[in-house]
Amino acid sequence: MITRFAPSPTGHLHIGGARTALFNYLLARRENGRFVLRIEDTDAQRSRPEYTESILGAMEWLGLSWDGEPVFQRARADLHRQRAQWLLDQGRAYWCHCRPEDIEASRQRALAEGGKPRYDGRCRDLGLGPAPGGVIRFKGPLDGQVGWTDLIKGPIVFEASELDDLVILRSDGLPTYNMAVVVDDADMGITDVLRGDDHVNNTPRQILLYQALGAPLPNFGHLPMILGSDKARLSKRHGATSVMAYREMGYLPQALVNYLARLGWSHGDQEIFGLAEMEGLFGLRNVGRSAAVFNPEKLDWLNAHYIKETPPGALGGLLAPFLAARGLAVPGPEVLAKIAATLRERSKTLAEMAAKAEFYLVGLPAIDPASAKKLLTAEGKGILARWREALAVPPGDHGGFEGLLRGLSADLAAKPGAVAQPLRLALTGSTASPGLFEVIDVLGPEAVARRIAAAIALEP
């Protein structure tokens, strides 16, 4: 089995493309086959090398390793031209001199009359030769049926009469999509073509091309689309759609891969899957047939799960760039790990974690005014003074911080919460934070003393 992922370098790798790549990867790995990459750069206008780099980078980040070197379609244009010429020689293709404007006009007419906008085949039997601005069209059958058994959707049949004579070689000498895909898939020995639902309508044309070229047909499988919350095709207006954007927002590749896999594929009730595990479990029979709505909340949940699962040391390393992006001084690995450990169970993304880590890394935290009014009263400052006193003694000497809190609570005849909150506010600037004693540990004695003093000195 040989599968492939064939993105066009006209943009970054998006969510839908990533899922297509993932399923192709999984299918090949499951069957001990090959998974190859082909860059479809035949659109000279829109293809950009930096997008190729970006797509490759995104694939690597996701862990979707491909076999061999990526194939660039443009480098194969000679082969495409050669096959187009062969089709011409066989009488399965013809030169067309129609002007694009005329064709467009007839399409509009057809649409206005309630029909399908198609090329009318007026050059089909004219026996024209090459000409500047001319194109080569495939001479398709006028009747009969074209069908296949889709790997995912089952039997699909089209009437040949629904199909018009598609352009296979453009006037610039480059092949069109359908031609290039068929020639390359056949030439590269692709056995299973797994791609987006939006290609279902191309498939009968491609089958006809395979047959005319005398090439064996691969299996075709069409994956349902990914939709936005309004059930329209996922697009920019639904928020981030590129894989790299998710990376920048602080999502872990494991989370994205896991989420994308579950969007359309299932294995009983299981929700959590690692890539390696899926390589053993994946199967097309468990891929759904209906379109799926992209649900950011569930991605968040998975991301939180993988963040919690990442050891603090590694997590600290992942967090560092997000800290730097906020303009914060990045501490050493040890402190980073400690910080990560305290935030691990309270962050959905690395970006959120960095925001929550900010108070650790500034000289003095910004105290929330509303909370200050409530907690830094004369009484609250009194409690802070007691804390300052108690914390001056090494914690081991009085049964740890927990014992300290209990002791103070008993002394002041106040609930532990009431005793803890002023200190939390002084240390973190907020009434919600990681565990107080973890914060004290990360901050160290000097910073703790400085923050308490600053809070006590704070004007009402």
Partner RNA sequence: GUCCCCAUCGUCUAGUCUGGUCCAGGACACAGGCCUUUCACGCCUGCAACACCGGUUCAAAUCCGGUUGGGGACGCCA
Supply the minimum distance, in Å, between the C-beta of residue 106 and RNA: 9
Q: Is 206 in the site for RNA (CB under 7 A)?
A: no
For helices 436-457 and 378-391, angle between their N-to-C axes, nearest 10 degrees = 120
**Range 116-155, binding RNA (CB under 7 A):** 116-119, 133-135, 153-155
| Nearest-angstrom CA–CA distance, 247 and 177 | 30
Choose one: 64-72, 175-183, 315-323, 381-389; the region binding RNA (CB under 7 A): 175-183
The yes or no reply on residue 374 touching RNA (CB under 7 A) is: no
Q: Which is nearer to RNA, 161 or 211 (CB)?
A: 161
Dump the DSSP string for 272-292: ---HHHHHHH--GGGB-SS-E
Compute the residue count for the chain: 460
Residue 161 C-beta: closest distance to RNA, Å:
9
**What angle is formed at CA 349 by the lines to CA 346 and CA 353, rounded to 5 degrees?**
55
Query: Is 236 in the active site?
Result: yes
Q: Work out whether 297 is an interface residue with RNA (CB under 7 A).
A: yes
Q: Which stretch binds RNA (CB under 7 A): 50-58, 76-84, 168-176, 330-338?
A: 168-176
Out of 240, 431, 441, 454, name the contact with RNA by CB under 7 A.
431
In whole angstroms, what is the distance from residue 125 CA to residue 254 CA? 56
Asked if 435 interacts with RNA (CB under 7 A), we say: yes
Q: How many residues bind RNA (CB under 7 A)?
A: 90
Q: Is 283 in the site for RNA (CB under 7 A)?
A: no
User: Nearest-CA neighbor of 251 among 339, 310, 326?
Assistant: 310
Q: Is 298 in the site for RNA (CB under 7 A)?
A: yes
Q: Note whether 233 binds RNA by CB under 7 A.
A: yes
Q: Which of 32, 78, 237, 290 binds RNA (CB under 7 A)?
A: 290
Q: What is the rounded distance in angstroms from the CA atom of residue 345 to the CA atom of residue 184?
A: 48
Residue 436 contacts RNA per CB under 7 A: yes
Binder of RNA out of 49, 68, 100, 283 (CB under 7 A): 100
Q: State the distance between the two ends of the chain, measured CA to CA, in whole angstroms.
A: 73
Q: Does 264 bind RNA (CB under 7 A)?
A: yes
Are 74 and 173 within 8 A, CB to CB? Answer: no
β partners of residue 233: 227
DSSP state, residue 242: B
> Where in the sequence numbering do the catalytic residues fall?
236
